[in-house]
Structure 1
Amino acid sequence: MSDIPETLAAHLAREVTSLSHCWRVTRRDGTVSGFTDHDRPLTVAGTSFEPQSGFTASEARETLGLAADTVEIEGAISAATITADDIAAGRWDGATVETLLVNWRAPDQAGTIRTQTVGRITRADNRFVAELDGPEAALDRIGGRWFRRACDAELGDERCGVDLDDPAFSADGTVAALVSADTIRVDGLDAFPSGWFAEGRLTATSGASTGATVRVLSHRVSGEGTDLVLWRDDAGLPVPGDGFTVVAGCDKRFATCKAKFANHLNFRGFPHLPGNDAAYGYATEGQVFDGAPLVP
């Protein structure tokens, strides 16, 4: 909903106007940045809006009903404000973007015309395009629980109950070497068997990527050392000497929940849920029907 003050409304009623757009971006970590499509810096409500990123916006429209409207903003990747590493690390994902309409001759005449969140960012040729989703976009997201054999809780959350601060499920390490484009060799995980951290999360605690979290695809232990294969998503890997914290992974199976975490009483899936094969199955000689659990 637009919030246009009377002073700005009076300016809009004139035959000649001096208008520009400003975007106040608040990241999830609390960092606030300001950008404008005007050719000079503007200060509005205590926020400085800088023009050097060359922000431009696509056509914006608002429709009646519950359809989700989106707007795209485009700008240059700048070492001072928006970096490729920050985009790849997801630091701008989910940021709140307030679009302001400003009289650049009198910046105190400004109004908020929409508030949206960053849904998707794409990069090409040292530029980025951010897709802004309105509140209606939340209606397209599936809510509620999934009825499936696998657990639908996130490891360590309130529904799961596993204490990830337990030394058995988390560890600190250091990157020793880069093995390949998606694999790092690490020190500090010698006490854990192969596969323990597969499907887990690695968070950098030092170096240029401090704070960035990536998913661990594979955890391998061999005679050459301990290797972690990471989901890159175009992000650079931690470099040798960087520290990190990694938490154990969970494949969401009941057997893993019981054997690895001793947390089967909190399992949030339905391991006995019949599959499609049950609809076509029939009793045959030699099958055992003793009422025993299908999942140990």
Structure 2
Amino acid sequence: MSAAAILGQDLSALAFCWRLARRDGVTIGLTSHDRDLTVGGVRYRAAPGLVPSAIRQGTELEPESMDVRGALSSDAITVRDLEAGRWDGAAVTLALTEWTDPGALWLVLAQGTLGAVEREGAAFTAELAGAAAVLNAPVAPETTPDCRATLGDRDCRVDLAKWRRVAVASGADDAVVGITGGMGAEEYYAFGTLRWLGGANVGIVQAIVAGDADGVTLADAPPFAVTPGTRVLLTQGCDRRLESCVGRFANAVNFRGEPWLPGNDLLTRYPGA
């Protein structure tokens, strides 16, 4: 039966389904029905508190195309994970189905990504950026003397396999993480990243601001305690200068910057200055 035919019935048994996929691959499903539903191999857990009134959608083409309130209340979405930022940037799909025959009707109502999740008392709220958010992006990038690309992305095109290594953390003192066996003098981890491969912080990626022979200093302390022996993935960074692009990575052809373009100070110059 088609979606139009199902919705055109005098009596329908409709339920909302939310599918949330985190950036580390963890995916959960929630439904407004009072029993669990399985659609497409995904189990949507019963969350009767999830009702249409928990969603507020605007009519203008804004990055904040939808606000999600009250939907983030499930045993699978813990306070610890929310505060650690694990759900920031998660892909969200909101669909309508008929609970008497889950999946026979699957009407997608909204899709997008979660912005930063904020805590409001005992509840949480997040902004859902839909497809219209891309219209707010700049038409052309601004000129900069430094590279605008991120090391290893599709603009940079550097193969990160050579610039990564798996290491073992010996512990953490605030934002300083010690590395068992030390760090190689030739390795540059400032502006790089550390991804936790085990322990309570597994899946979380943190920015590195400095590195030395004993370990690395993160931009923020790990959200949870670090157990000695935890494996981490270290990715070296780039300071975005042309000299580094040429000397370290031999990648000047993909440099995304204008190091020799005159700046605004050229307009203030005058003869004899």
Please indicate, yes or no, whether the TM-score normalized by the shorter chain is above 0.5: yes
- Give 5+ residue unaligned stretches, structure 1: 286-296
Q: Identify which of 230, 241, 266 aligns with 1:242.
A: 230
The 2-side partners of 1:185 and 1:30 are apart by 27
The 2-side partners of 1:233 and 1:129 are apart by 24
The residue type equivalent to 2:165 in the other structure is A
Identical-pair percentage: 30
1:185 equivalent to 2:178? Answer yes
Q: Identify which of 167, 170, 173 aligns with 1:173.
A: 167
TM-score of the two chains, using structure 1 as the length reference: 0.74
The residue type equivalent to 1:170 in the other structure is R
Q: Equivalent residue for 1:8? A: 7
Contact 2:176–2:221 (8 Å) recurs in 1: no
For each residue in 1:175-220, what CA deviation from the matched residue of structure 2 results, as whole angstroms up to 9, or x when unmatched? 112212x222222443226x82111011222323333321112224
TM-score of the two chains, using structure 2 as the length reference: 0.79
1:130 equivalent to 2:118? Answer no
Q: Identify which of 194, 202, 215 aligns with 1:202.
A: 194
Q: Which aligned pairs between 1:246-285 and structure 2 lie closer than 5 A?
A: 246-284=234-272
Q: Which aligned pairs between 1:28-177 and structure 2 lie closer than 5 A?
A: 31-44=26-39, 47-52=42-47, 54-57=49-52, 58-61=54-57, 63=59, 66-67=61-62, 69-75=65-71, 78-79=74-75, 81-87=76-82, 91-104=86-99, 107=102, 110-124=105-119, 125=121, 127-166=123-162, 169-177=163-171
The alignment of Structure 1 onto Structure 2 pairs a total of residues equal to 269
Q: Secondary structure at the match of 1:255?
A: helix
- Give 5+ residue unaligned stretches, structure 2: none
Contact 1:89–1:213 (8 Å) recurs in 2: no
Q: Which structure would you say has the larger Rg?
A: 1
Q: Identify which of 20, 23, 26 aligns with 1:25.
A: 20
The 1-side partners of 2:55 and 2:161 are apart by 48
The 2-side partners of 1:8 and 1:24 are apart by 22
Over aligned residues, Cα RMSD in angstroms? 3.4
Contact 1:204–1:210 (8 Å) recurs in 2: yes
Q: Identify which of 186, 208, 217 aligns with 2:209.
A: 217
